[in-house]
Each structure stands twice: as C-alpha cells, then as structure tokens.
Homo-oligomer: A and B are copies of this chain.
Amino acid sequence: MNRAEGRRRQADRAMGGVPQRPWGQVERQMPPVRIISDDQVSAIHLAALDVLGRQGLRVLHAPARALYASAGAEVVDETVRLDAGLVAERLKTVPAGFTLEARNPARNLRIGGGWCVYGAVGGPAYVMCNDKGRRDGTFAEMCDYMRLIQGLNVIHQEGGGPFEPLDLPANTRHLDIYHAQIRLLDKSWQTQTLGHARTMDGIEMAAIMLGTTPEGLCHRPVLLGIINTNSPLQLDVPMAEGLIALAAHGQVNVITPFTLAGAMAPVTLAGALVLQHAEAIAGIVLTQIVRPGVPVMYGGFTSNVDMRSGAPAFGTPEYAKAAQASGQLARHIGVPFRSSNVTAANEVDAQAAYESQMALWGALTGGAHLLNHAAGWLHGGLTASFEKLILDAEMLQMMDAYFEPMATDPGALALDAIREAGAGGHFFGTAHTMERYETAFHTPMLSNWDNHPNWLSKGSIDARTRANSLWKELLAAQVDPALDPAVDEALHAYVTRRKAEGGAPMN
C-alpha cells in the first residue's frame, strides 16, 4: 500500500461515509506569487515607516504606551512614534515559523514556509442555515457547529467561536466557549482577545487542557488570537490588553488592521496597504517589546468598500491583489502571514463561491500561513453559515489537492499504458489504470457530476441544498473526541469559579 492509498483508506473511514481527504497540512511547493515588484514592496514599506516615524499611532492604553517608550519610541500624549531603526531592531526577533500545539499532538500545526493553517470562521453575530434562515445563535447550535469543524478533516483550527451564543450572558460567554472548544475539539483553537480578562481566561484554560500553568505555556505556542487595530492608526485598550497578555505568555498575536480602502483606509490599494503595513508593524513591534522572540503573525485584511453605498466588499479583485501584496510585505519584514476566505454574498450561491475563490487563490498562492475564516464566513463576516461551511470545506479540499505535487516518475509518465491502450484505444482497462484508479483523483464531497437527465431525475438538487444534507449527515455521525475526565473537571471548576467572580468586566 503506497502513501496515497494509505491516505485514501484513511479518508474512507471518515465520519458519515462522506468522502473526505485525510487530516493533514499540504506543503505548497511553489514560491508565492509576486503581484507587485520588489521596488513596489520597498515603496510601501518605506511609506509605512514614514507614517510610523512622523505621524505615529494613537495608543489608548497607558501601559502599552509605557512599553513603547521603554523601547525608545517617542511618546507624546497618546501618540507613539516609531523610528525605522527601532522597527528594524524589534523585527529581528520575530520567528519566521513555529509549531502550534493542539490538545491532540497529532493535530499540532506548522506555520511558516510552505505550510498553512485553515482556521474556521470566528466571531460572527449570527448563524444561518437553509432551513431556518439567519438568526441569533445559541450555545447548543454553536456546539453543533464546532462538532462539524472537528469532523471536517480539512479544517485545522477552530476560529475563536464560530458565532455568538446569545443565550449566554455576555460577561461569561467566553468561558463556555473555551470549555466547548476544548471538549468538542481535539484540534487547535483560537482564543478571544477582547481585554485582559478574556485573554487570561483563554490562557488559563489552555494551560489546564495541557496539564500545565500559564507560565508553563510561555515557550509552548498553543493559542492564537486576532488583534484588530482600529484603523486608521489607533490601538484601543481591550486590544492592547489582549496583545500584551498573549505575548507575555508566549502566545501568538495575529496583528490584523481592518483597512477597508475608501472607508478606514485610503481609496487606493497601495495607500490602504501603507496603512495596513504601518499598523501591523506597530503591533508586531509591541509583541517583541513585551517578549522578544514571541511568535507573531502579520494579518492582511485589506479590502474595499462599494463607493456607491459604502458597503464593504470582499473577495473582490482588489482583495485578491491586496492579499498577495500583503504576503510580499509580510515576507519583506520576515513575519508569518495571515489572510482570509471572505465574501459579501447573501446566500450560498454562485457569488459566495466566486468571491471565496478569489480570496482563496489570492491568499494561498500569496503565501498565507494562516487562512482565517477559512470555512463558514458569510455576509461579510456577520454570519456563520452551516452550508457555507461545507462549501468552503470542499473548496479547501480542492486547493489542497491542487497543491499536492504532481508525480513524474516512470510509472506516472505511463509509457507502457499508452502502448497498451494503443491508437484509438481506451485506458479504462489497462493494468496501469487498474492499479491506480481508486486513489488517482480528488473525490469531492459536494460536487455533483451526474449527467443532466440523471440530475433532473434525482430532483435537480443544487449545491446549496446538497450542502444542507451533507452537514446534517456529518453531524449525525460525529463522535466527540475523548477528553480526560480530570481535565474536564478542572476546566469545569475553573469556569464555575470565574463565573462566580463575574467573568469579564463589560466595557
């Protein structure tokens, strides 16, 4: 049994009989696309340094300002200015790559080089499915969504809570989400970063999960948290608190400016990238001041708005171009790169697919090391969709199959088979085909390749409706991964205590 066959057999054992690729990351062999020239990368980088050195960033959190000042930044009132020398010095300590631990060591993840992590949707306000439309989320439904994330092999990481469980109190909701992430998944999960308390709760519970203490995590990256600067050029108190707490404990900040060109960023793509780059650098530098050498990522989220309505647009040509240019900027400063799978579509229709495809190709050929919101994102991030989760999982599987290297050994070149089939012959029955047909090609879970009369006779079921059946089939077959009862009990005790203390303060 060769390696490909082993994979396929593993895939055949996937839950629910739905064909899936096996768990794993595929290393991209190709160099990332360079959508802009090296000179253009330099021009954007230098302009960002100009912004940081002359205009500076407004930092609303006094301890963060003190940290910047301690490293030699110029701090006047709330404005922090970073000169080029300070930036260059602090970027030197950023690791080019790292491994992120999961509850199950077999689920540990590589970040850097040709490796990418696919993290599921995180943070939407709403949940949606074909049957019930868009609505507020509940904890029970959130748990089901997490079970699907656990069950879908192609998704490497849970994204920090797929949607808000609005039936739980806001100040303690994060505790129940963390507990669910650990119970329902043996995969990596993202933590929440809104303020010190929520961030520390994630760190404490991750430590319990791994049988250690927060201090014991300091050299073991296990949590990844998204930090959004308040573009333009502002870092607020909750985000600064989250950033500092994560960095202080050796955990991974993903510094992601929210630079929508034409709104919170210049209307030109290059200008939006200058702003993104300046803000990302400012955040990355702060992590290295807090703890030199702590892993950190460069988040690229530049997109554009519809200038007629002001509506944010995602998965546009501009988005794809910005993603690839962001990868170049991140590599220019030696920081692993985060991008996303995004769409502004309202339904799981052709638009959702083509906008997400634009984002996927931009991000993955642009060298992303974390694809955030990789599966489930709809409505410009306001909604987590059950059917979009399936659509995205299919598209991610296709990208992974695309990135699998092509074999060109003598067996693959198939000269014997070409001779055996002969002119005008066929290959169905050749020995070459018989040996390989079961594992030769990507097997889809969502695509339907029936001919049209057959498709009609089976009820004309489109992709959106097939996705609905698929997630139900997968969910029905999903078995939660075993968790050490002692760990679960310790988590329960932690959550109970923190709830009694009032959870996180409401800002």
Residues of A within 8 A of B (CB): 30, 33-36, 40, 43-44, 47, 50-51, 55-58, 79, 134, 230, 232-234, 261-272, 274-275, 304, 306-307, 309-313, 316-318, 320-321, 325, 344-358, 361, 365, 379, 382-383, 391, 394-395, 398-402, 404, 406-408, 411-415, 417-419, 421-428, 430, 432-433, 436-438, 440-442, 444, 446-452, 455, 460, 462-464, 467
Shortest Cβ distance from residue A358 to the other chain B in the assembled complex, whole angstroms: 6
- Which of chain B's residues have a CB closer than 8 A to the CB of A419? 55
How far apart are the CA atoms of A430 and B268 in the complex, in Å?
Answer: 12
- Which of chain B's residues have a CB closer than 8 A to the CB of A33? 30, 33, 365
Of the A-B pairs whose beta carbons lie under 8 Å apart in the complex, a sample of 21, sorted by A's number, is A47-B415, A51-B415, A51-B418, A55-B418, A56-B423, A234-B423, A262-B428, A266-B432, A266-B433, A269-B412, A271-B418, A307-B441, A316-B442, A317-B398, A321-B406, A325-B406, A347-B463, A349-B350, A350-B464, A354-B391, A382-B452
- Which of chain B's residues have a CB closer than 8 A to the CB of A426? 232, 263-264
How far apart are the CA atoms of A423 and B419 in the complex, in Å?
Answer: 70
How far apart are the CA atoms of A447 and B265 in the complex, in Å?
Answer: 23
Closest B residue by C-beta to A34:
B30
Contact, CB under 8 Å: A406 / B79? no
How far apart are the CA atoms of A271 and B433 in the complex, in Å?
Answer: 11
Contact, CB under 8 Å: B307 / A351? no
- Which of chain B's residues have a CB closer than 8 A to the CB of A450? 311, 346
Shortest Cβ distance from residue A85 to the other chain B in the assembled complex, whole angstroms: 20
Shortest Cβ distance from residue A83 to the other chain B in the assembled complex, whole angstroms: 16
Shortest Cβ distance from residue A465 to the other chain B in the assembled complex, whole angstroms: 9
Closest B residue by C-beta to A47:
B413
How far apart are the CA atoms of A345 and B455 in the complex, in Å?
Answer: 10
Contact, CB under 8 Å: B440 / A267? yes
- Which of chain B's residues have a CB closer than 8 A to the CB of A462? 346-347, 349-351
Shortest Cβ distance from residue A74 to the other chain B in the assembled complex, whole angstroms: 15
- Which of chain B's residues have a CB closer than 8 A to the CB of A455? 346
Contact, CB under 8 Å: B233 / A424? yes
Contact, CB under 8 Å: A347 / B460? yes
Interchain CB contact (< 8 A) of A353 among B309, B320, B353: B353
Interchain CB contact (< 8 A) of A407 among B50, B265, B270, B425: B270
Known: A33-B365, A351-B353, A441-B316. A232 touches B421 (CB 8 A): yes
Interface centre among A55, A361, A436, A441 (most CB of B within 10 A): A441
Closest B residue by C-beta to A271:
B414
- The DSSP consensus for interface residues of chain A is mixed
Contact, CB under 8 Å: A449 / B270? no
- Which of chain B's residues have a CB closer than 8 A to the CB of A361? 357, 361, 365
Interface centre among A272, A400, A406 (most CB of B within 10 A): A406
Known: A358-B357, A450-B311. A408 touches B44 (CB 8 A): yes
Contact, CB under 8 Å: A350 / B463? yes
How far apart are the CA atoms of A402 and B450 in the complex, in Å?
Answer: 33
Contact, CB under 8 Å: A418 / B232? yes
Interface centre among A320, A351, A442 (most CB of B within 10 A): A351
Contact, CB under 8 Å: A427 / B264? yes
How far apart are the CA atoms of A313 and B443 in the complex, in Å?
Answer: 11
Contact, CB under 8 Å: A428 / B263? yes
Contact, CB under 8 Å: B353 / A427? no
Contact, CB under 8 Å: A408 / B346? no
Closest B residue by C-beta to A50:
B415
Known: A50-B415, A441-B318. A266 touches B427 (CB 8 A): yes
- Which of chain B's residues have a CB closer than 8 A to the CB of A414? 266-268, 270-272, 274-275
Contact, CB under 8 Å: A460 / B346? yes
Interface centre among A349, A365, A395 (most CB of B within 10 A): A349
Shortest Cβ distance from residue A44 to the other chain B in the assembled complex, whole angstroms: 6
Contact, CB under 8 Å: B437 / A262? yes
How far apart are the CA atoms of A265 and B411 in the complex, in Å?
Answer: 14
Contact, CB under 8 Å: A36 / B418? no
Shortest Cβ distance from residue A102 to the other chain B in the assembled complex, whole angstroms: 26
Shortest Cβ distance from residue A334 to the other chain B in the assembled complex, whole angstroms: 21
Given A51-B415, A307-B437; 4 other pairs, CB 8 A cutoff: A36-B408, A232-B426, A304-B441, A351-B448
Contact, CB under 8 Å: B349 / A232? no
Shortest Cβ distance from residue A282 to the other chain B in the assembled complex, whole angstroms: 11
